Amino acid sequence: MKQIECYRHKKILVLGLAKSGVTAAALLHKLGAFVTVNDKKPLSENPEAQGLLEQGIKVICGDHPIELLDEGFELIVKNPGIPYNNPIIEGAFKKGIPVITEVELAYQISEAPFIAITGTNGKTTTTTLIHEMLNEGGKKPLIAGNIGTVASGVAQKAKKENVIVIELSSFQLMGIKTFNPKIAIITNLYDAHLDYHGTREEYKKAKANITENQTELEYLIINADQEETFEIARHTRAKIIPFSTKKQLSEGAYISNGWICFNDEQIMEIADIALPGVHNLENILSAMAAAKLSGVENSAIQEVLKSFTGVKHRLQFVTELNGRKFYNDSKATNILATIKALAAFEAPIILLAGGLDRGNEFDELLPYLKNVKAMITFGQTAPKIERVGSEAGIKTIKRVDNVDKAVSEAYRYSESGDVLLLSPACASWDQYKTFEVRGDIFIEAVHKL
């Protein structure tokens, strides 16, 4: 890692722990900063904070006292999940104290270049595909961000010959200052996290930060089928590489006569691709573009696409039991993701859905429920999803307490040839700490059968 001096003897507040906060605090301490950590969880229940205390880092736990701002901090490193209307953050802006996320630290210390992926849907699959393609092509990639380990932890180990492939959320991108990826990707843009950002425009601005510092020496891969991504591209200095599943392009990644192509070169027949779902072609095209720009041979791209069947919790095939196929799509935390999952199957579907109520309705699902023969609901949104199911004419709609019970109930109404699909269309936080926990419970329940 680069031994930077810009944080030596600076007073820095790390606000909020979790993995990113712990890693950032330890890194800044190593770089010679005077670090204070503030986390809402009490110290007695906070092993992460206790560990930092043992390293000689100042720790304040239990709440976020506004008086912290009187201690003369020169920088705040904020956990991405803490909103910008937090009183400490609002107070910091009034005092002119910069606020960053740990992704910025990762960029500053990294010897390796970055390939950065953002968007509403498809980030995890695209990030994983790029990592697999680069790995197959001998490019020594490291994976980081939401999908892997904390970026500033990965960056400490990265060498010049590595490439860091990183999935970035809008929350993380709001806290960058100099971060500049060699290749940036915006998969797509739809309504998401509006409870955090307030408006779609603010959400779009956050996503656009991924290309804010790029120059004509870097690349921005964008979805040519969406006007909003083109709006972002109009303000970039990077070389624009479009991808499209709907039209043939003069350059970039596209589909032609049953082949995926890059510029004027046929790379692979779609029929030979293992990953299911029409929506995944977007992810494949953007990943292929990043791989080609990184010098990966066609044979390596083909090898990955012949064998890659998906990432955990994203339309993940779990098993087949007595002719029924089980798919874990717990990462479908919004309606669009569930729409794409439903469109991926022609077989009859038993849909397991529900979760955190963010105030929205689910009428957008209606046109895509034609293949759904039964619906098992759970969580806060169960009544709303049931209403849409009834309007779609689904005869079997059952409400259960949780995902574990949903699996056995779904199996009860299934028959050979059916797809049993967990695709909640909602965040998990009403019942489960993360979508990963929710998906793991689904997998365990399936195996119990």
Tell me the pLDDT tens digit for each residue of 260-318. 999 999 999 999 999 877 778 999 999 999 999 999 999 999 999 999 988 788 888 89
Could you give the C-alpha distances from 428 to 79, 139, 330, 424, in angstroms and in order?
A: 20, 36, 8, 8
Residues 330 and 282 in one domain: no
Distance (Å, whole) CA 290 – CA 115:
8
- Helix %, strand %, coil % for the chain, to 5? 40, 20, 40
Start-end of H helices in 64-169? 87-95, 102-109, 123-136, 151-157
Residues 108 and 96 in one domain: no
Q: Helix (H, G, I), strand (E, B), or coil: what is residue 300?
A: helix
Between 190 and 8, residue with greater pLDDT:
8
- Which amino acid makes up residue 248? Q
Token pair recorded at residue 20: 């990113």
Residues 163 and 247 in one domain: yes
Residues 221 and 332 in one domain: no
Confidence of residue 194 (pLDDT cuts 50, 70, 90): low
Query: Which range marks the domain in which residue 440 is found?
Result: 316-448
Residue 225, pLDDT score: 92
Edge-first strand order for the sheet with 259-262 is 141-145, 163-167, 114-118, 183-186, 219-223, 239-243, 253-256, 259-262, 265-269
Q: How many helices (H) and strands (E) does the chain have?
A: 16, 20
Residues 270 and 122 in one domain: yes
Between 184 and 81, residue with greater pLDDT:
184
What's the sign of the alpha-carbon dihedral 75, 79, 84, 87? negative
Contact (CB, 8 A) for 123 and 146: yes
Q: Helix (H, G, I), strand (E, B), or coil: what is residue 28?
A: helix
- In a domain, residue 436? The reply is yes
- Which amino acid makes up residue 395? K
Distance (Å, whole) CA 153 – CA 144:
9
Residue 283, pLDDT score: 95
Nearest to 331 by CA among 446, 426, 408, 431: 426
Per-residue pLDDT, averaged over 27-37, amounts to 97
Known binding residue 125? Answer is: yes
- In a domain, residue 442? The reply is yes
* pLDDT for residue 41 is more than 60: yes
Residues 118 and 267 in one domain: yes
- Which phi and psi (to 5°) does residue 366 adopt? -45, -50
Q: Pick from 307, 337, 354: which residue ends a domain?
A: 307
* pLDDT for residue 195 is more than 70: no
* pLDDT for residue 192 is more than 60: no
Residue 101, pLDDT score: 94
Per-residue pLDDT, averaged over 132-155, amounts to 93
- pLDDT tens column, 316-332: 889 999 999 999 999 99
Per-residue pLDDT, averaged over 162-168, amounts to 97
What's the sign of the alpha-carbon dihedral 425, 428, 350, 344? positive
Interacting residues of 165 by C-beta distance below 8 A, sequence separation 6+: 114, 115, 117, 127, 130, 131, 134, 141, 142, 143, 144
* pLDDT for residue 131 is more than 80: yes
Q: Helix (H, G, I), strand (E, B), or coil: what is residue 68?
A: helix
* pLDDT for residue 197 is more than 70: no
Known binding residue 122? Answer is: yes
Known binding residue 120? Answer is: yes
Token pair recorded at residue 218: 């870097």
Known binding residue 178? Answer is: no
* pLDDT for residue 385 is more than 80: yes
- pLDDT tens column, 321-376: 999 999 999 999 999 899 989 988 989 999 999 999 989 999 999 999 999 999 99
Distance (Å, whole) CA 287 – CA 337:
19
Q: Pick from 100, 123, 142: which residue ends a domain?
A: 100
Per-residue pLDDT, averaged over 221-249, amounts to 92
Chain centroid offset of residue 187 CA? 11
Residues 117 and 223 in one domain: yes
Residues 114 and 41 in one domain: no
* pLDDT for residue 188 is more than 80: yes
CATH of the domain at 343: 3.90.190.20
- In a domain, residue 370? The reply is yes
Residue 7, pLDDT score: 97
- In a domain, residue 225? The reply is yes
Q: Pick from 283, 307, 331: which residue ends a domain?
A: 307
Distance (Å, whole) CA 230 – CA 142:
29
Residues 150 and 299 in one domain: yes
Residues 66 and 112 in one domain: no
Percent of the chain residues past pLDDT 70, beyond the cut? 98
pTM of the predicted protein model: 0.79
Distance (Å, whole) CA 399 – CA 421:
15
- In a domain, residue 381? The reply is yes
- In a domain, residue 72? The reply is yes
Known binding residue 123? Answer is: yes
* pLDDT for residue 231 is more than 90: no
- In a domain, residue 4? The reply is no
CATH of the domain at 135: 3.40.1190.10
Residues 163 and 282 in one domain: yes
Q: How many domains does the chain have?
A: 3
Angle between helices 298-307 and 280-293 (to 10 degrees): 150
Across all residues in the chain, what is the average pLDDT? 94
Residues 273 and 409 in one domain: no
Residue 122, pLDDT score: 86
- In a domain, residue 226? The reply is yes
Distance (Å, whole) CA 349 – CA 367:
14
* pLDDT for residue 146 is more than 90: no
